Every structure is written in structure tokens, then in C-alpha cells.
């Protein structure tokens, strides 16, 4: 079944599945899923089960709480149905979804869970899961993303990861990884937990490390209030700050392009490519955190990150045949540098912190996107600092040697400029910067590249610093780009995705790389196996009263 076009734009007054209540330093996000408001009409979202639409609203809430509510220090996420927190991803939705949608759904949901952890760790806006009832599968995975898990001790409510025994798939949004990596549950107990459909309740859940606190119904509200107060006291978020309203983006979508205020995406279906052109700011940008909050959503740094983030998500879900993303920039390099300077000069301001973290999350979306990434540096480009990350993120990059010599008045040759932004502001999922990742195991080459920080590098200098892949002259430029795009479009997209994912994440393995590489790779494969999705597989048989018929061969 074909999924409808997905729009990632929403707001609290349009939520169908969540209720957001802000009271001083605390916010409560209540999950009360409307069963009849799924993205497709062939399933119902019963028992607080969710589809992508539910998670789009959750992602929006996470983002708005960080930007629009700087005084909020603690977020309590709880269930709005009696004796149920969340039943996880909707099984009928998964059974009827295309393979690509299932994989993209899991990836986006993983990114949202990571955003919750990022809010707790780096924004100091602590998330607490108050499980008012059973949390199963993806529902428990949502709780695992929170920094504390409270479970009502009513003799029936439990936490569980029942995907393996019930559905023949894996908990797809980090559950297996977080149980042992984050909760430090003993391996043998984790094995029991992930194969026990009824889950674990009360004191046993505490003993195994699956939850942090339990309380009977009589003291449940007191426990939530106590933990909220304790965690709020640990935060440095400003109590009197005015937030930044995240107004809807100006966006026009046609079959050939997506146009925003500072970003244009041009689509070439003949070679399966989408070209992102980012435009530099045209005037002075804020120089202080206070100036950023005054400019609000019109500040170039924030608007650009929002537009890039939205474009990535739109293309991931709605333009799956566009396998190559090309990045270009246009404008004054010094204007980009001036706009970026506030991120270093006023780094302790809450709005500066949030914008830096937002850019880090958006660039991570590129790292884990199943697309070939190509960056093009030609005259008029402005790959400076934050935008230079788009050179480092690429699978390969092209920088023009010289200028357009056939013009009567050739423009200046292109340059790139690293700044302190490239030395630590934007870590990849492997917890390394893209510059460190580029020179993994080659310390001398890394040191040489860092010496170029602050310098405008021409093609020969960028090559010497090992920052670009190829530097054709104007005679070969068009042919080199054309051949690369045509060649990429001729390869198997499955093989390219596997190759790119292996090359992008070198060095230490982290919880994120395990989730996006190891877990996602296995889930991707399992979602194609007949034991899960075949006519007699577990996803198809679930809820019918008939047991699945498994091929018992281990592969």
C-alpha cells in the first residue's frame, strides 16, 4: 500500500495525539492517541499505539519545549488512557506499510528518542517517564529515552519488549541497546526480558534495573511531584527567559523543487538527485544571545537549520527515488562567519546553546540518511564553519580549480574556510567531529588540517589539507559532476547504503552508532524476512488468532 505524502509541520494546537501542559519549570506531555487519526485509514491506533503521525507530533513537542519554553527544566511524559502508557508501534500499520516506510519510520523515531536524550544531557531539560500503566515495545523504548522511569505499582502494569516472541522482529527504536548500554541490565536478565511477552512488573522491574522508582496509586502523584522537584533543582535553564516561537516555515513544494526563504532544493529525476542550495544571510545577524531571542525564528542560524531539517525529512519519506543529495552554497562567506560568531562568543546563553545543538542534530540526520552525499564548491560558494560541515559530511566533494575562465570578467576562485565550529561543536553519532572522523588514525593529517582554521583555502590548499576529494578545472567540471551523478544512479541503492554507512562511522562505537548501524541494519533485514512479513509471518498473523509459521533455518 502506498503511503500518503508526509508533512512534518505541526503545532500544539493541531496535535491529535498529545496534550502539552506547561506550569512554571515543569511540563507534562500526555499521550492520548486518537485511534481514528492514523496516517492511513486501514488501521486504528488503539491502546495508545503509534504511527509516524504520532511521532511527528512528539518530535515537534520536544523541539518546542527547548526553544519556546526555556524556563521548563523537567518534562514528564505520561499516558492519558487508563492503565496504559503506550502499546508501542501499531502492528497493523507496520504490516501494511512498505519496507521503505517501515525503515524510515524506525529511523525517525530513533532520532526523536535521541533528541529527548539530547534535551536531558545538553539542554538540561530533564525528561521523566511516568508510566501510569503498561509500557510495551516502542512504549517502553520511549520511556528508555527518558532519564528516569517511574512505574505505577498496581499489580498489573508492566514494562516489556515483546517484539521477538510476538512479531518476529526487533524492538526497532533502540530498546535492546538502551537496556544493556544505558540501563546496565545484566545480559542474561535482558535475554529473559526480551523474550517474555507479559513483561516485568513492580519490584522485579526495580531489581533488574528496568525502572527507577515504583509507587502504588495512592502515592503515585506524590512520587511524580517529588522527582520533578528534585530534577528541576539540578538544571541551569533560566527561569525568566522569553522563548522563541517556532512559526511555520515559508515553503513551496512543486514536482521540480522545494523553496524556502534561505534554501532551495532542485530535483533532477533523470539522475535521481536533489540539489540543496543554501543562501548566506544578506545583512547583519545577531551578535549576542539576547539578539538571537529578539530576532527569534527570523535569525538566519535558526531559520536555516529548520529549513534544512525539514527538507531532509521531506526527501527521506516523499522522494525515496532521489538517491543522491548534492550540496551547494551561495553568498558572502564573511556574512556566514559573522552570523556564526555568536555561537562561540555567547556560548553560555540558552538560545545559543539550543541553536548549536539543533545544528548538531540536523547534521546527524545527514550522517544517517540513506543517501549519497556530494558537495560542490564553485565560485560564489560560502562554505565557512557551520556550512563547511557540509564539505566534511560528504561522501565525496568537488572544488573548482581556478574560475570560469571563458567569462569576460571571471569571478574569484572558490574558497572554503574552517572555523572553531569544525573542531567540536557538531559531533557525529560516533562522538567524534567530522574532521576527526575524516582523519581517524592519522593524527599528523588532522593537526595539519586544524592549522588551516580561519584561512580561506583555494582548491590546491584544500587538497593539500585533505579537505576535498577532487579539484577539476573549468574544462572538466561539468563532465566530472555529470559522470559522478550518472554513475551513482546506476549502482544498486541497497549496496550504496551499506557501503556509505560502513565508511561514515569510523572509530569508537557508541550507543547511537549501535542503534543506527547495527540495530537498524538487522531490523532492515528482518523486515524483509518471511518469518516476519511473509503471508504466514508474525506481522501478518498478529491478532488473527493463528500462530505464525516460521522457517526454522538459522541464516
Residue 391: name the closest of 445, 468, 325, 471 by CA: 468
CB 31 within 8 A of CB 122: no
Question: Does 209 qualify as catalytic in the annotation?
Answer: no
User: Among the options 27, 71, 89, 190, which is catalytic?
Assistant: 89
DSSP state, 519? I
> Do the beta carbons of residue 389 and residue 447 sit within 8 Å?
no
Q: Give the separation between CA 465 and CA 439, rounded to whole angstroms.
A: 11
Rounded to whole angstroms, how far apart are CA atoms 128 and 149? 6
Inter-residue contact 258 to 311 (CB < 8 Å):
yes
Catalytic residue flag (residue 89): yes
Q: How far is CA 52 from CA 40, 57, 107, 182, in A?
A: 10, 9, 11, 25
Computed from CA positions of residues 340, 343, 346, 349, in that sequence, does the dihedral angle turn out positive or negative? positive
3-state secondary structure 57-89: HHHHHHHHHHHCCCCCCEEEEEECECCEEECEE
Strands 18-23 and 26-31: antiparallel
Residue of 79, 138, 272, 534 with catalytic role: 138
**168 catalytic per annotation:** no
Assess contact for 354 and 123: CB atoms under 8 A.
Answer: yes
Give the dihedral sign, CA 539/543/549/555: positive
Q: Assess contact for 51 and 338: CB atoms under 8 A.
A: no
Residue tagged active-site, from 3, 117, 141, 364: 141
The answer to whether residue 117 is catalytic is: no
Q: How many Cβ atoms sit within 10 Å of the Cβ of residue 1?
A: 9
Are 199 and 157 in contact, with CB atoms under 8 Å apart? no
In 3D, which of 432, 524, 499, 520 has the Cα closest to residue 177? Answer: 520
Chain centroid offset of residue 21 CA: 24
C-alpha cell at 49: 499505539
Catalytic residue among 111, 163, 307, 364: 163
Across 196-235, b (16+ Cβ under 10 Å) vs e yields eeebbbbeebbebbbbbbbbeeeebeebbeebbeebbeeb
Catalytic residues: 89, 138, 141, 163
Amino acid at each position: 500500500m502506498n503511503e500518503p505524502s508526509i508533512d512534518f509541520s505541526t503545532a500544539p494546537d493541531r496535535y491529535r495525539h498529545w496534550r502539552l501542559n506547561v506550569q512554571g519549570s515543569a511540563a507534562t506531555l500526555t499521550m492520548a492517541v486518537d485511534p481514528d487519526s492514523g496516517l492511513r485509514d486501514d488501521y486504528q491506533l488503539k491502546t495508545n499505539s503509534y504511527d509516524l503521525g504520532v511521532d511527528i507530533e512528539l518530535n515537534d513537542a520536544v523541539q518546542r519545549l527547548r526553544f519556546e519554553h526555556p524556563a521548563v527544566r523537567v518534562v514528564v511524559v505520561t499516558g492519558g488512557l487508563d492503565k496504559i502508557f503506550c502499546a508501542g508501534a501499531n502492528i497493523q500499520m507496520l504490516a501494511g506499510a512498505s519496507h521503505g516506510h517501515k525503515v524510515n519510520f524506525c529511523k525517525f523515531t530513533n532520532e526523536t528518542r535521541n533528541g529527548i536524550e539530547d534535551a536531558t544531557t545538553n539542554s538540561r531539560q530533564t525528561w521523566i517517564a511516568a508510566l501510569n500503566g503498561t509500557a510495551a515495545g516502542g512504549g517502553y523504548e520511549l520511556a528508555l529515552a527518558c532519564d528516569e522511569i517511574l512505574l505505577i505499582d498496581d499489580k498489573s502494569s508492566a514494562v516489556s519488549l515483546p517484539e521477538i516472541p510476538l512479531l518476529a522482529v526487533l524492538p526497532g527504536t533502540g530498546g535492546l541497546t538502551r537496556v544493556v548500554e544505558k540501563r546496565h541490565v545484566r545480559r542474561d536478565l535482558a535475554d529473559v526480558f526480551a523474550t517474555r511477552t507479559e513483561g516485568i512488573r513492580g519490584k522485579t522491574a526495580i531489581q533488574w534495573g528496568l525502572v527507577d522508582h515504583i509507587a502504588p496509586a495512592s502515592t503515585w502523584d506524590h512520587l511524580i511531584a517529588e522527582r520533578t522537584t528534585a530534577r528541576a533543582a539540578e538544571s541551569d535553564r533560566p527561569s525568566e527567559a522569553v522563548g522563541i516561537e517556532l512559526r511555520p516555515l515559508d515553503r513551496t513544494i512543486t514536482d521540480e523543487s522545494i523553496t524556502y526563504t534561505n534554501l532551495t532544493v532542485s530535483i533532477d529525476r533523470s539522475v535521481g538527485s536533489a540539489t540543496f542550495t543554501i543562501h548566506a544571510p544578506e545583512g547583519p545577524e545577531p551578535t549576542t544571545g539576547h539578539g538571537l531571542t529578539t530576532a527569534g525564528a527570523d535569525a538566519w542560524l535558526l531559520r536555516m537549520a529548520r529549513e534544512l531539517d525539514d527538507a531532509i525529512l521531506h526527501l527521506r519519506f516523499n522522494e525515496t527515488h532521489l538517491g543522491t543529495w548534492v550540496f551547494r552554497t551561495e553568498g558572502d562567506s564573511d556574512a556566514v562567519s559573522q552570523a556564526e560568531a555568536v555561537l562561540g562568543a555567547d556560548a553560555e546563553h540558552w538560545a545559543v546553546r539550543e541553536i548549536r545543538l539543533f545544528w548538531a542534530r540536523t547534521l546527524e540526520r545527514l550522517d544517517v540518511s540513506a543517501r549519497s552525499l556530494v558537495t560542490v564548491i564553485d565560485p560564489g560558494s560560502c562554505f565557512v564553519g557551520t556550512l563547511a560541515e557540509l564539505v566534511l559530511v560528504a561522501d565525496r566533494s568537488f572544488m573548482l580549480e581556478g574560475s570560469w575562465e571563458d567569462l569576460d570578467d571571471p569571478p574569484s576562485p572558490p574558497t572554503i574556510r574552517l572555523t572553531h565550529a569544525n573542531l567540536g561543536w557538531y559531533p557525529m553519532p560516533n562522538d567524534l567531529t567530522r574532521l576527526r572522523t575524516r582523519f581517524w588514525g592519522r593524527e599528523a593529517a588532522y593537526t595539519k588540517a586544524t592549522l588551516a582554521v580561519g584561512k580561506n583555502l583555494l582548491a590546491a590548499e584544500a587538497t593539500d589539507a585533505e579537505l576535498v576529494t577532487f579539484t577539476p578545472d573549468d574544462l572538466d567540471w561539468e563532465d566530472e559532476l555529470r559522470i559522478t551523478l550518472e554513475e551513482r544512479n546506476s549502482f544498486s541503492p541497497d549496496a550504496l547504503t551499506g557501503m556509505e554507512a560502513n565508511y561514515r562511522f569510523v572509530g569508537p562505537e557508541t550507543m547511537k552508532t549501535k542503534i543506527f548501524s547495527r540495530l537498524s541494519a538487522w531490523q532492515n533485514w528482518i523486515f524483509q524476512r518471511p518469518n516476519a512479513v511473509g503471508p504466514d509471518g508474525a506481522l501478518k498473523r498478529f491478532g488473527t488468532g493463528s500462530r505464525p509459521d516460521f522457517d526454522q533455518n538459522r541464516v
